[in-house]
Amino acid sequence: MPIPTEPIGSIPRPPELVAGMQQLATGRLTRDQFARLQDAAIHDTIRRFEATESPVITDGEQAKPSFATYPIHGLTNLAPDGVTIPFADGHTRQLPRLTAGPFRYQTYADAYLASARAHAHVPVKQAVIAASALSLLYPEDGITGYPREAFLKDLVREAETDIRRCLAKGAHVVQLDFTEGRLAVKFDPSLGLLRMFVDLNNQVLERFTADERRRIGVHTCPGGDRDSTHSADVDYAELLPTLFELKATNFYIQCASEPDRGRVLRLMKEHSKPGQRIFVGVIDPIDPRVETPDEVRDRVLEAAEYIALDRLGTTDDCGFAPFGDDTSTDRETAFAKIRARVAGTALAARALRA
């Protein structure tokens, strides 16, 4: 019985695409010229992804400005001074702030999926941002004439639409990026913010049938930007019990870079629910060293000691470049790591059949 293996999403952009983003912003490149750069990057990414023999691929998020802000990129009712997210190495990322309602997505993720499927010959998954992350756009002091309750109602509807359009376009699975889950514990150790995030995401997930939710998953990690994290110091014991309350089927959980993988696997076994499939992270995108297939095999075999085979999958800990300007990892390293994950998972599957 093969063990399913899937990527998280992003692949480092080619240097010419990264340069093109800067040139577009300064007016030195037209939108049509930039679109051609994006399409070339998507085509090359899918070609190289398929060469790894990965049974499921993504477009590498080549056309997304970032994993978090793609739905709102270009909206005019935003200010730049939103929530700031600090990373361990000292750099920060800042979300925009909503200035007026109503809240509407500017871009739905099925547009990226359609472009990818036009090139792909294997199943394509699509990552979307969780509603909980976008809830951070609403300012603490409110918006005159647009109460938070109205914003959340609009947000839940838009998040549902984002997922539903991807399912309708033939996504193998739709993955909610929920990196803010672990960060919520850091911001609020009482777990109140985490529970609020999970409740909000469940309002979205409850709009789907049980059959539809079999094609919906959730990814959690401590962030991975410029080879740094924002919440790796948060104990998984504070996150996982609440995480598994999410009404999704597939859970993609960072694990390879954890200092005590066995403890994390025990927590997964203890708190996951029947019917939930756990894709364990067996590749560390932040580590510049490429794992060997044998190392991956051993990590899968370790995970199989805790998680039943019919509920076990493998993945990468995080995307390789969640933000469009992240050049900390090169494309060759990313694809080499993916090849190792695919090969090592296959080795483990053969060993477990013996």
Interacting residues of 99 by C-beta distance below 8 A, sequence separation 6+: 77, 78, 79, 143
- CA distance linking residue 143 with residue 156, whole number of Å: 18
Residue 354's pLDDT is 52
The number of residues in the chain equals: 354
Residue 24's pLDDT is 87
The Cα angle at residue 304 between residues 239 and 317, in degrees rounded to 5: 45
User: Structurally, what CATH architecture does the domain formed by 15-353 represent?
Assistant: Alpha-Beta Barrel (3.20)
Q: Tell me the per-residue pLDDT of 106-153, one tens digit each, with 9 for 90 and over.
A: 999 999 999 999 999 999 999 999 999 999 999 999 999 999 999 999
pTM, 2 dp: 0.95
Residue 79's pLDDT is 97
Residue recorded with tokens 């990818």: 116
Q: Tell me the per-residue pLDDT of 103-115, one tens digit each, with 9 for 90 and over.
A: 999 999 999 999 9
Q: Provide block-wise average pLDDT over 10 residues at a time, the chain (354 residues).
A: 92 92 88 92 96 97 92 95 94 96 97 95 97 97 97 98 98 97 96 98 98 97 93 96 98 97 98 97 97 98 97 97 89 97 98 83
Q: How far is CA 237 from CA 102, 187, 243, in A?
A: 38, 16, 10
Q: Are 284 and 317 in contact (CB under 8 A)?
A: yes
